[in-house]
Chain A
Amino acid sequence: MDGIALLTIFILSVFVGFEVVSKVSTVLHTPLMSGANAIHGVVVMGAIIVAGKSEPNSLALWIALAAVLLGAINLVGGFVVTDRMLEMFKSKKPAAAAEDGGAA
């Protein structure tokens, strides 16, 4: 793909990236950051690609494999920890109002 096409995709992605999170509530800042963190874990794909074209037993291969390891940690760990954070939003039965204003 030529440079201009990639640049187009890049610019449009910037706008989409801004747009999708513009209305996030404070409560979700951390989970959202963690979720975005998991998404850039797809960097593992790039690591696999470069490992796949490195010469066997070369320095490049071992560096690439280290990248595979790190990328996989980022990807899998990122999604799992985000999911744990968001367990709070699992559907619960609505809690009854706690206070009913009696005398102390």
Chain B
Amino acid sequence: MSETHVDPMWVQVSYLVAAVLFILALKSMSSPRTARTGVLIGAIGAALATGVLFFSGIKLANLALIIGFLVVGSLLGLVAARRVKMTAMPQLVALFNGVGGGAAALIAVVEYLVVDSDDPLFLIFTVATVIVGSIAFSGSIVTYLKLQELMTTRPVVIPLGKWITILVAVATVVGGVWLIVQPQEWLLWALLGLSLVFGVLFVLPVGGADVPIVISLLNAMTGLAVAASGYVLGNVLLLIAGTLVGASGTLLTNLMAKAMGRPLTSTLFGAFSGTTAGGAGSGTDRPVRSGSANDVAIMLGFAGKVILVPGYGLAVAQAQSTLRELADLLAEKGIEVDYAIHPVAGRMPGHMNVLLAEANVPYEQLKEMDEINPEFSATDVVLVVGANDVVNPAARTDQTAPIYGMPILDVDAAQQIVFLKRSMRPGFAGIENEILFDPKTTLLFGDAKDSLTKVVAALKNV
């Protein structure tokens, strides 16, 4: 802790106000009605705190450079956030989280270089910030690469990976303790490097379907790193904000894992064993039944009840609006239409809701998994558009599948199933879907948007 500067009363009160605004922001963002206001409240709190800092009387040398970097960073963040397609939003959040963790780690490094202190508490929190912040940084970069599909989305299992990871973890802890006992600069850099490597090793074996949970976990870790940096700097607001995010993020990680039916431990350590890369081992040359857009239109047009299951493929093809057009057309014909939304349809919990809302699909038609699952058995046709893992019964039956235990949409209970698929390529989790080979399944190959447009055109003539 730096003891040289004590904030004046009005500054401390401003920080208190900002802390309260952060709490209110998180609270508001937990409810659909107030979520948008919550973002505004949080942004006001952050702007207030950052603005006050400049006038708090704290010694700020290099002011021009600081403001320059602040402006450039803000612009980069703004442009990235504005330009990103909503389909690529999860990886951008991962990236933003990563840079936050990186910032916390760097702050601790600088504080160590600038302040020559051997206060053990200062050193403990400095080490904690460096380790946790670096892991959040490098781990988030790997999740970004996975989601952006710049690297394989399957679990990466390096030979002896488990032992290397354990070795690096032990080295990190030993290095940290050593630095606390015997502060020396080279050790700090070594610690930074080890933590970065650990972050990569930690995320590499995580399978694609579990990436959202890991992002959430890394988000909570960044929160804790920020909290620890607040302790290092003696800044109460950083401590509170970081802790709030750390705590709420941990709980959120748990809730997400539950929504996906994935015990957190198996997400994080399951892939270590190397069993997950497997799959059903079934060849893709097995016979499937494919149909034309016309066939699909006829099936839909003469159904009484249709359920649409949108997935990531829909989002990639930007076919939300075309799907809505199809739904409207079916509804006009008096057919009952619902959208079945798996909690992790798309790439993350709630992602699909965001995408469909963009296409002005009425919120009321979106049915969550628990609500829609009993209805499949009374459904004539299920239309699966660009989804795979979330309807894959391997989650129920195949104990070796990486998605085993994840609750899925029970589309196999319906009378007929239609898959709009680009190819026979397996989904994000990299496993074969047995439903594709089911006799009551029809496949329509092609880009989701093209296929839907053709089906809509054909349906108008049915």
Which residues of A line the B interface, CB within 8 A? 1, 3, 6, 9-10, 13-18, 20-56, 59-61, 63-90, 92, 94-95, 97-104
Contacts and interface: CB of A to CB of B under 8 A. Distances in A.
26 contacts: A9-B243, A14-B246, A16-B23, A22-B251, A27-B32, A27-B353, A28-B35, A29-B255, A29-B256, A29-B350, A32-B252, A33-B252, A36-B219, A39-B25, A45-B53, A49-B235, A52-B61, A56-B62, A60-B113, A60-B114, A61-B62, A64-B110, A76-B74, A76-B81, A84-B82, A87-B357
Given A28-B29, A70-B99, A101-B336, 19 more contacts: A26-B259, A36-B248, A37-B97, A38-B42, A40-B222, A42-B49, A43-B225, A43-B242, A45-B53, A48-B54, A51-B60, A52-B58, A54-B62, A61-B65, A68-B70, A75-B100, A78-B96, A87-B36, A98-B362
B86 A84 contact: yes
A67 B70 contact: no
B410 interface: no
Interface of B: 1-2, 18, 22-23, 25-27, 29-33, 35-36, 38-40, 42-43, 45-46, 49-50, 53-54, 58-63, 65-66, 69-78, 80-82, 84, 86, 89-90, 92-93, 96-97, 99-100, 102-104, 106-107, 109-111, 113-114, 121, 212, 215-216, 219, 222-223, 225-227, 229-231, 233-252, 255-256, 259, 301-304, 327-328, 331, 333-337, 343, 348-351, 353-354, 357-358, 360, 362-365, 368
Nearest to A77: B77
Contacts of B30: 20-21, 23-25, 28, 32
A31 B350 contact: yes
Nearest to B243: A13
A35 B74 contact: no
A31 B237 contact: no
Given A17-B26, A81-B89, A26 B66 contact: no
A72 B31 CA distance: 27
A47 B235 CA distance: 12
B365 A98 contact: yes
Q: Is the interface of A mostly helix, strand, loop or mixed?
A: helix
Contact of A30 (B102, B354, B364): B354
B349 A26 contact: yes
Nearest to B97: A37
Contact of A35 (B23, B25, B65, B216): B25
A69 to B, nearest CB: 4
Contact of A46 (B65, B104, B114, B333): B104
Contact of B29 (A15, A32, A46, A63): A32
A54 B237 CA distance: 21
B39 to A, nearest CB: 5
Contacts of A70: 73, 99-100, 102-103, 106
A32 to B, nearest CB: 5
A37 B219 contact: yes
